[in-house]
Each structure stands twice: as structure tokens, then as C-alpha cells.
Copies of this chain bind each other. A is one copy, B any other.
Amino acid sequence: MHWRMIEPPPAPAYVVVLDPGDEAVAELSGFARKQDLEAAQVTAIGGFERAVVGWFDREVQDYRHIPVAGQCEVLSLIGDIAAAADGPQLHLHAVLGLPDGSTRGGHLLEGQVWPTLEVVIREAPAHLRKTIRPDVGLPLIDLTRPGEAPAPQ
């Protein structure tokens, strides 16, 4: 994994390029923690040699796991980063392209990169807080409380 800041603060943008064998969710979560991202937008394309996506089952309040076994194009990987109780939390949704052009997609649970994943992360000079919604069973971005200034670095 390599990265570079391509737009300067106060609203920095980063290009992050993942390498063959990198697991996308772990690498991007690690990057978000190291940069202490509290409000950011994520967009990426590339390829996975295998992935697991999820569909959220309301009844059981958990993701149904959907494995995608072979090499696929990452047609879109879109999401955001907000601050949860235990640090920056990624929320990423993926659409994957199979050899016949058909697609699979869901909440990205795991993606093994091959040959690359080209990611743009745009950080905002703001703080987005996630709080657990017991009725849903998920942490959601909570704008109902007044905004906070980002913590000093």
C-alpha cells in the first residue's frame, strides 16, 4: 500500500494505491486510523481476486455473507469514513464485475486486491459521529446532535 496527499489541507485529498495481496478493508481502515480521519468520502476502482460482500438482514440484524470466488473488476467502491466509539469507521459498498459482464455487489466485508485498487479519499474539515442505533443494530452517522470541531491533532 502506498499513498500520497494530492490536495492540501484544510480539505486534503489522498490517493491510496493497494498492491496485489492487500486486503482492502484492513488496509483502508488502517490508513483511516493512522490519518485519524473523522469525516471523509471514499471512491475506488480496481480489481479483486476474491471478495466477500454483505446484504443486511433486518430480521437477524446482521450481514448475510456473499462470497465472490474469482477475479473480478471493482466497478465501483463508494463510501465514507466517520468517527465511531472505537475510532474511524469505514462504510464501503462495492459493485464487482464478473468474467461474463454480470455483476455482484454489497457492503464490502473483504476484498483481496489484484492487480491494484486505486482509491481517492477526500477528507472534510468536520467531524461525523456514528452512534449505535439499537432498533437497527448498526452504527449510523448521527447528525442530530450539534457538530463538534475536529479534535486537535
Q: How many residues from A make CB contacts under 8 Å with B?
A: 68
- Name the residue among A71, A124, A142 with the largest chain B CB count within 10 angstroms: A124
- Name the residue among A6, A56, A124 with the largest chain B CB count within 10 angstroms: A6
Question: By the criterion CB–CB under 8 Å, are B103 and A104 in contact?
Answer: yes
Is A153 interfacial (CB 8 A cutoff)? no
**Considering the complex, which residues of chain A in the window 1-37 have a beta carbon less than 8 Å from any beta carbon of chain B?**
2-4, 6-8, 11, 13, 15, 17, 20
Is A93 interfacial (CB 8 A cutoff)? yes
Question: By the criterion CB–CB under 8 Å, are A3 and B79 in contact?
Answer: no
**Considering the complex, which residues of chain A in the window 70-84 have a beta carbon less than 8 Å from any beta carbon of chain B?**
71-76, 78-80
User: Complex: how many Å from CA A39 to CA B80?
Assistant: 22
Question: By the criterion CB–CB under 8 Å, are B106 and A17 in contact?
Answer: no
Question: By the criterion CB–CB under 8 Å, are A53 and B116 in contact?
Answer: no
A95 surroundings in chain B (CB, below 8 A): 75-76, 95, 97, 103, 105
A45 surroundings in chain B (CB, below 8 A): 78-80, 91-93
Question: By the criterion CB–CB under 8 Å, are B101 and A105 in contact?
Answer: yes
